[in-house]
Amino acid sequence: MSQLSLKQLEKSFNEARIIKGIDLDVSEGEFVVFVGPSGCGKSTLLRMIAGLEEVSGGQIEISGQVVNDLPPVKRGIAMVFQSYALYPHMSVYENIAFPLRVEKLPQAEVDARVGAAAKVLQLESRLQHRPGQLSGGQRQRVAIGRAIVRQPKIFLFDEPLSNLDAALRSEMRIELMELHKRLGSTMIYVTHDQIEAMTMADKIVVLNAGEISQVGGPLELYHKPDNLFVAGFIGSPKMNFISGKVRKADGATATIDLGSLGTIALPRTSTAVAGQDVTLGIRPEHLSLGEGEFGLETTPNIVEQLGIHTITYSTLSGGENFIGLFEGNPALAEGQPVRMSFPLDKVHLFDAKGLAVY
């Protein structure tokens, strides 16, 4: 049975529809990441689940109970805010104990729960300090501690790592994953960073303009994106897109005219795309130097040498940006034409509406 279930969930602010009929099921113990660009509605969706935003339409069910009209505290959730939302005038101890004080639990119980949370989060030596004296990572842990002590059914995280520097972010990412393993609770995590989504999630929900673009495991989204948006959003560097027109689709092969790049024949069973304008997608890491199943020549404007791999940025004759990612340090130079190729089975094809064609 799913622990959280969203049914045709809607949110409007005056005339503007922010969330447009979302259906989603989250199972117990799952780590679900809502990812999408700024303004896609992911934070609003999380705040609706938390009970901080009213629902304009549809239903939110937690453990089978409709919670639309319940206040946050009765929903069995705990939320970690992007800004941490720590009380600056209270000690770390009192910050973590806050929800327990609200519940008026006896002091012994408060001590035990705060102590246990502090131990898990390695904050024991910091309990008497004020938040102002802590580093960003420690503040983050205090905010998580305040969520843990409530022993919620579902943890909600609103971009919790976005205020940390890159090194600390990857460290906290691992800590959060370990915490998830240890607690086994359901966690819903909002981020705009697709690397966080890919590394942490059991299930990724890609949101775009208030709608779900695709739901799936990280590798599923990477290998089988349903549409152009997901294909472009998941993966770094971004997938390359080349426009073309289908000349022939006979149920076994689709022959596509790529203009000055030539013609490519892809194994596709769909015949509906015949005559359509389509988009080809190829990930930068699937390109190789030299000849292959399909080759093209480009001139890199910029070459980035990262040691472990080399990234080239060029522009195709049709105006599309074209990124290549190659292992090691091949001899590539800016302004010098280079021959690249890719295998046909790595090519993604999207129809005129941007939906994947198989």
Give the residues lining the site for another protein (CB under 8 A).
50-52, 71-73, 77-79, 81, 83, 85, 87-90, 98-99, 101-103, 130, 132-133, 146, 150
21/59 Cα distance (integer angstroms): 10
> 188 or 221: whose CB is closer to another protein?
188
DSSP string, 76-143: TEEEE-TT----TTS-HHHHHHHHHHHTT--HHHHHHHHHHHHHHTT-GGGTTS-GGGS-HHHHHHHH
Two tokens, residue 84? 């941490």
Nearer Cβ to another protein (150/203): 150
SS3 content of the chain, % helix, strand, coil (to 5): 30, 35, 35
Q: Which is nearer to another protein, 83 or 301 (CB)?
A: 83
Beta carbon nearer to another protein, 87 or 124: 87
Minimum distance between the CB of residue 56 and another protein, rounded to whole angstroms? 18
Q: Which is nearer to another protein, 45 or 278 (CB)?
A: 45
- Taking CB atoms within 8 Å and a gap of at least 24, the contacts of 124-128 are 126/92, 127/91, 127/92, 127/93, 127/96, 128/91, 128/92, 128/93
DSSP 317: T
> How far apart are CB 322 and another protein at their closest, in Å?
43
- Beta carbon nearer to another protein, 81 or 313: 81
Query: Going by DSSP bridges, is the β-strand pair 186-191/154-158 parallel, antiparallel, or unpaired?
Result: parallel
- Shortest Cβ 41–another protein spacing (Å): 18
Count CB-CB contacts under 10 A for residue 94.
Answer: 16
Going by C-alpha positions, the residue among 145, 143, 183, 187 that lies closest to residue 162 is 143
Q: What angle do CA 128, 160, 223 make, to 5 degrees?
A: 150
**What's the CA gap between 154 and 343, in Å, rounded?**
43
As measured in angstroms, the least distance from the Cβ of 173 to another protein is: 22
CB of 228 to another protein, least distance (A): 36
Task: Return d(Cα 275, Cα 248) in angstroms, integer.
Answer: 7
Q: Using alpha carbons only, what angle is made at residue 238 by residues 236 and 242, rounded to the nearest 5 degrees? A: 155
Give the nearest distance from C-beta 33 to another protein in angstroms: 20
> Which residue's CB is nearer to another protein, number 85 or number 333?
85
- What's the closest the beta carbon of residue 125 comes to another protein, in angstroms? 16
Least Å distance, CB 54 to another protein, is: 13
Q: Which is nearer to another protein, 189 or 222 (CB)?
A: 189
The number of angstroms, rounded, from the C-alpha of 179 to the middle of its chain's C-alpha atoms is 19
